[in-house]
Amino acid sequence: MTSQTTHSAEGHNGNYPGKGIGQPVGVAVLGMGTVGTEVLRLISEFSSNLEQRIGGPIDVRGVAVSDLGKRREVLDLFPDIALTDNALELIDRDDIDVVVEVIGGIEYPRQCVLAALKAGKSVVTANKALIAAHADELSDAANEAGVDLYYEAAVAAAIPVVGTLRRSLAGDQIQRISGIVNGTTNYVLDAMASTGMSYDEALAEATRLGYAEADPTADVEGHDAASKAAILASMGFHSRVTYDDVHAEGITNITAEDIEAAKDAGFTIKLLAICERLFDDAGNTTSVAARVHPTLVPNEHPLASVDKSYNAVFVEAEAAGRLMFYGNGAGGAPTASAVLGDLVGAARNKIHGGRAPADNPYAHYPVADFGDVPTRYHIDMSVVDRAGVLADISRRFADAGISISAVRQEEHGDASRLIVVTHMSIERKLAAIVEELATLDDVKVVNSVIRLDADAAE
């Protein structure tokens, strides 16, 4: 007779018992900007459905804001809510079960999130910069307290890529993640490609339409995408990758001429976040890398058709193959949708017991130096129009151990425009040859250097 073991509900939930069906889940919302306001509106609008999904009602018991005197119409939907400018005091209340952090920034949100976790409150955050900088510390605090830390909205808003990596692909091995994870830069590059606008004109249009902030630095210099790349790499490769580990370049130097040259060669320029494993000759993972930079994407690749302010993340897994996730990657409603999805998960666990899958950076792969990352270059330069220049430049590439994939030359008066596309080589060698080219008498100027996506045909 085969023996069987049964598990009681209490045993299944271990040290994380639930409040019980029908009990309310007390929620504090920190921040009432665009996202916080939309979260509250959705909680009010969907309250009955949310209660059915969770097993108990969501009871928003307090909201922390920076300006108590500001009129906020959404609060009319919550007449009994406590409004405060002291987030830490609100977090400390005994009737708060889940804290939603949508403040933005790093240091003050870090204090608030840590205080919440250490006090046994689950946390839902949309704060990519916070997670990219302090994921280890926050995850440790959540694990020690036995509570949840959710952050789906920190990467690409409503696109469910964080949950996919954490749950659906948890049994697979992720080889590479690449994607468009910043709507502002994608809008600017798309406008340049579709209308012929200059970078400045496209950015001005993005600002007018609300796609770009008054200070767009974090977006156009690649910082925003770098935070998201750090999160994706950490989750995909089970190794801790921080913002400081990500090489980031923005789009401020992309010109209309670069856009046209890309079109002529069958490419589209996108600002990509690229996270990948690096392998030794035996096929073993040696390290991981994460980078953000303008990239030439072949027109036939699915990422090339992602236009306007949309985002898309392309995941390559050993068993699942290639997967692409596409949608609104920014904005109040899409981000609030992701926050609310996490809130449902955290609240359900409070009702029924248990915890969501936690971060598990067990692999501990080192992060590769950017100079060791393999890539390809598209080099656009103006050279003296004389016999032998192309042969001399080709020889210098050969001497550096870099193979050339394609060369195109155009005549322009007393100068020629020379475009060289390399085969795959390591970043350090490619950067060195560009520096050497810039010193040659026959090279008037190196106009631009743009990397090619790994899927570009060799």
Q: In the 8-state DSSP scheme, what is residue 321?
A: E
State yes or no: is 228 an active-site residue: yes
Q: What angle do CA 337, 326, 100 make, to 5 degrees?
A: 25
Please state whether beta strands 174-180 and 25-30 pair in parallel, antiparallel, or not at all (unpaired).
Answer: unpaired
30 is in an annotated binding site: yes
Cα separation, 444 vs 431, whole angstroms = 18
Which amino acid is it at 258?
D
Residue 291 CB contacts under 8 Å (≥ 6 apart), including other chains: 229, 246, 247, 248, 273, 274, 370, 373
Distance between CA atoms of residues 300 and 453, nearest Å = 12
> For the CA atoms of 95, 101, 102, 106, what is the dihedral angle to 10 degrees?
150
Tokens of 302: 């699915």
The token duo for 173 is 């091995």
272 annotated binding-site participant: no
The alpha helices in 196-255, defined as continuous H runs, are: 199-208, 217-220, 223-237
Got the DSSP string for 246-286? SEE--STT--HHHHHHHHHTTEEEEEEEEEEEEE-TTS-EE
Q: What is the C-alpha separation between 58 and 51, in angstroms, rounded?
A: 7
* Residue with tokens 């935070």, as numbered in its chain: 227
DSSP 211: S
Q: Are 195 and 210 in contact (CB under 8 A)?
A: no
Neighbours of 354 (CB within 10 A): 17
Strands 425-426 and 374-384 come out as antiparallel
Is 424 annotated for ligand binding?
no
343 is in an annotated binding site: no
33 labeled part of a ligand binding site: yes
CA distance 392 to 361: 49
Q: How many CB atoms lie within 10 A of CB 366?
A: 12
128 is in an annotated binding site: yes
444 known ligand binder: no
Residue 184 is assigned to a ligand binding site = no
Distant-in-sequence, close-in-space partners of 42: CB < 8 Å, separation ≥ 6: 336, 337, 340
Which residue among 19, 118, 121, 228 is the active-site one? 228
- The pair of three-digit structure tokens given for residue 282, joined into one six-digit string: 């035996």
Q: Is 36 annotated as a binding residue?
A: yes
Q: Hey, which residues does 84 pair with through a beta bridge?
A: 64
Binding-site sequence positions for NADPH? 128
Binding-site sequence positions? 30-37, 128, 213
Known catalytic residues?
Answer: 228
Binding-site sequence positions for L-homoserine? 213
Binding-site sequence positions for NADP(+)? 30-37
